[in-house]
Chains A and B, each alone.
Chain A
Amino acid sequence: MSLEFFVISTLNGVSYGLLLFMLSSGLTLIFSMMGVLNFAHTSFYMLGAYFAYTISSVVGFWPALVLAPLAVGALGALFERYSLRRVHKFGHVPELLVTFGLSYLILELVQLVWGRSTVPYGLPEQLQGPLFTLYDTQFPKSRSFVMLVAMLMLVSVWLLLTRTRIGLVIQAALKHPEMVQALGHNVPRVFMLVFGGGCALAGLAGVIGGNTYVTEPAMAASVGSIIFVVVVVGGMGSLAGAFLASLLIGLVQTFAVAIDHSLATALQALGMTVTEETFGWPLLKLTVSQVAPILPYLFLVLILIFRPKGLLGTRED
């Protein structure tokens, strides 16, 4: 493993991890505040990408960077107001189900409006090309832009939650909603704002993830289960845990796809003879890159066995 490969993979892994964090932070915020697991969270991510594609073809990428998340956030708030709030009284499982139904609906609507194949949502000129070249490998500007936006978002969410009045109300409503309501704050509206805000964060991730990676109807499903893994591994409701877990999973996945070794080659390197007749050959011959898609889920299972509350979680339920 050369140094060059190591540095580039680390940077790629961190930028992918930060993108995952942009998604999982909104999910965690919504979950820890309202107890709602938003199954349609990555559908809002997809909507962000598609909205940005349409808006940027009219007014350019930079206005779209602001407008698309706002539109997605508004849709999220509307959904909370007119659908989720109605279901709230039935309990958490119907809430999860209603967002599950929404994810079906958004997928169909996206395919209806933008078609079933990939849309040509490209990078703006300022983000094209490499930021720097290390030995022979280039690190693209777009990925560093993802990192920049994610860090800015992290800092501003943190400032909003800890330094502003509305942030303090949100934190209070998180712990004791009845008390906050008794003090005269409109808690349902706070919930609506948080849900909309979380969706807007997902939309923002979509705007920059859509052109860094690819904008297609399958993009919601491709990260959907991963961010649930992130939230469970990081610890339910822990923002710091989500940050740690996102980076970890981003790095693990990026490194894994680049490694072409298998258990068989490892055993051969140790001086053992491993052939097609050896017991368990189908398992031994799998390379790490082939196993890469299941690594996050294996990680989830291991965490659940050895540390059920997650990396930085405090809740045991």
Chain B
Amino acid sequence: MTTTTSTTTSYHRFKPWNVGRIVIWGLFALMLIVAPMLFKSSLALTMLSQIGYLIIICLSYNMLLGQGGMLSFGHAVYTGLGSFIAIHAMNLASKGSLPIPLVLIPLVGGVAGMLFAVLLGYVTTKKAGTTFAMITLGIGELVASMALMFPEFFGGEGGITTDRVYGGSFLGITFGPAIQVYYLIAAYCFICTAAMFAFTGTPLGRILNAVRDNPERVEFIGYNTQRVRYFAFIIAGFFAGIGGGLTAINFEIITAADSVSVIRSGGYLLFTFLGGATFFFGPIIGAVLLVFASVLLSELSKAWLLYLGLVFLFMVMYAPGGVASLIMMNLRLAKFGKLRSLWPSYLGLAGTGLVAVLGAACMVEMTYHLQLNAALGPVMTFLGASLDATALSSWFGAIFVLLTGLGLFELCRRQFLQQWSHIQEEIEHQIKRGEAL
């Protein structure tokens, strides 16, 4: 599913069916269908619905970041405005003045997102690179503060509410129960993912990659790079709007302070990158991580933003391809049958890393406890153990655990690095031998 494999598959066009691709997409569809049957609690269903539309949003974001090299700080503008238009369309439809069935509401959001992208994207895509990033930030702030200025349309602090059950039931489907909404989201998720994957193979998608890698050369062969960016931006805006429309259907309330905010845009950026911007399927992982982090991690620890920031920083520094690139690197090893020899090193790294993280997390949690819950007394529970956050002994213990973990981790890391480069060399040799044959 990556750009590299898709070029190799196009190499094998003589096959009547691309079996691998059909299997992967079939599995994806199956996962979307089966997931709510496996996880039946209402929390799981909410999370699955959120994952569904966030996949669309993160993929549309990656159309800009991964495929076009455009780092946008204002993607929530298009999802948020899509949500608002969608929610107003739903309210009009329930009054009977606009005959649109709920199934098509996400498309209304999509068209709205596209129109705003046509309008704002013209200014935004005038530049590329860092200037582009700054302009998107400015536009994001512009729309976010404007949204608070027009309470008639954006509903001010309270936001706009709606009721998604307005049409008559069709074959017993009213979209009242959450499970029906989930399947609507899942259907859109599958279609949009397929459409966005198809986009990567179109001439526009291809030239967009070229604009990312070498804009000068693209100008040389007669393309207008600004127009290529503009078109990609409009298409990304369309899919972002669909995601926004689904958000509106799912929550039935949209507030301006949250949905178009720059913080929300930052979240999309963060998790798309964590998932992996260099691979098509990276943002799907990112969307899953986003929901797990914001729903489960935020329950678990008050310091989750700190952990998130640290993970992000280390990811940019050591694995700029995100989780997807880590998976693909190990798949490559598995393909050459080298993965098995690395298992002990992986276990060692994970074990020692966990010890270090445990020590650090202990200190962070104690500081947070002192800062936020001072009224509850100095004793807190951390992973089942009760700690006195003011006692020196617990601090020394935490520091000791951290240092031990760090030291052992460093040892494991050196060993692992040697092994890793050795294996990579072997693979290179193997490939060369294969070419020689």
Contact = CB atoms under 8 A, between A and B. Distances in A.
Interface of A: 31, 35, 37, 83, 86-87, 90, 92-94, 96-98, 100-102, 104-105, 107-109, 111-113, 115, 225, 228-229, 231-232, 236, 282-283, 286, 290-291, 293-294, 296-298, 300-301, 304-305, 308, 317
B142 A298 contact: yes
B187 interface: no
Contacts of B134: 37, 228-229, 231-232
Interface string B108-141: 0000000000000001001111110111011111
B251 interface: no
Interface stretch (B86-94, B143-151, B349-357): B143-151
A286 B151 CA distance: 11
A229 B303 CA distance: 32
Contact of A294 (B126, B131, B142, B266): B142
Contacts of B256: none
Contacts of B310: 105
Contacts of B262: 225
Contacts of A301: 123, 138-139, 142
B367 interface: yes
B416 interface: no
Given A104-B309, A308-B126, A317-B131, A97 B71 contact: yes
Contacts of B130: 31, 35, 37, 92, 96, 236
B195 to A, nearest CB: 26
Contacts of B126: 304, 308
Given A225-B138, A294-B145, A297-B142, A90 B320 contact: yes
A287 to B, nearest CB: 11
A228 B367 contact: no
Nearest to A304: B123
Given A304-B123, A308-B126, A101 B313 contact: yes
Given A92-B129, A93-B71, A232-B138, 14 more contacts: A83-B313, A98-B317, A101-B270, A101-B313, A104-B308, A108-B305, A111-B371, A225-B140, A225-B262, A282-B153, A297-B138, A300-B135, A300-B142, A317-B129
Contact of A108 (B266, B273, B303, B316): B303
Main DSSP-derived SS at the A contact region = helix
Contact of B313 (A98, A298, A304): A98
B342 interface: no
B123 A93 contact: no
Interface residues of B, number: 45
B240 interface: no
A236 B86 CA distance: 38
Nearest 5 Cβ contacts at the A-B interface: A297-B142, A104-B309, A105-B309, A108-B306, A101-B313
B127 to A, nearest CB: 7
B123 A294 contact: no
Contacts of A92: 129-130
B299 interface: no
A291 B149 CA distance: 8
B186 to A, nearest CB: 31
B211 interface: no
A61 B273 CA distance: 42
A201 B326 CA distance: 39
Nearest to A292: B145
B139 A297 contact: yes
A298 to B, nearest CB: 7
A101 B368 CA distance: 20
User: Counting chain A CB atoms within 10 Å of each CB, which of B134, B135, B273, B312 scores highest?
Assistant: B134
B367 to A, nearest CB: 6
Contacts of B245: none
A136 to B, nearest CB: 32
B152 A282 contact: yes
B306 A304 contact: no
A111 B372 CA distance: 10
A146 B310 CA distance: 35
B343 to A, nearest CB: 28
Nearest to B69: A93
Interface string B371-396: 10000000000000000000000000
Interface string B268-296: 01100100000000000000000000000
Contacts of A232: 131, 134-135, 138
Nearest to A316: B127
User: Counting chain A CB atoms within 10 Å of each CB, which of B130, B135, B146 scores highest?
Assistant: B130
A92 B134 CA distance: 13
A94 B128 CA distance: 15
6 contacts: A90-B320, A104-B308, A225-B138, A225-B140, A297-B141, A308-B126
Interface in B141-192: 141-142, 145-146, 149-150, 152-153
A34 B146 CA distance: 34
Contacts of B133: 37, 96
A304 B120 CA distance: 12
A304 B316 contact: no
B123 A305 contact: yes
B149 A286 contact: yes
Given A92-B129, A96-B130, A225 B309 contact: no
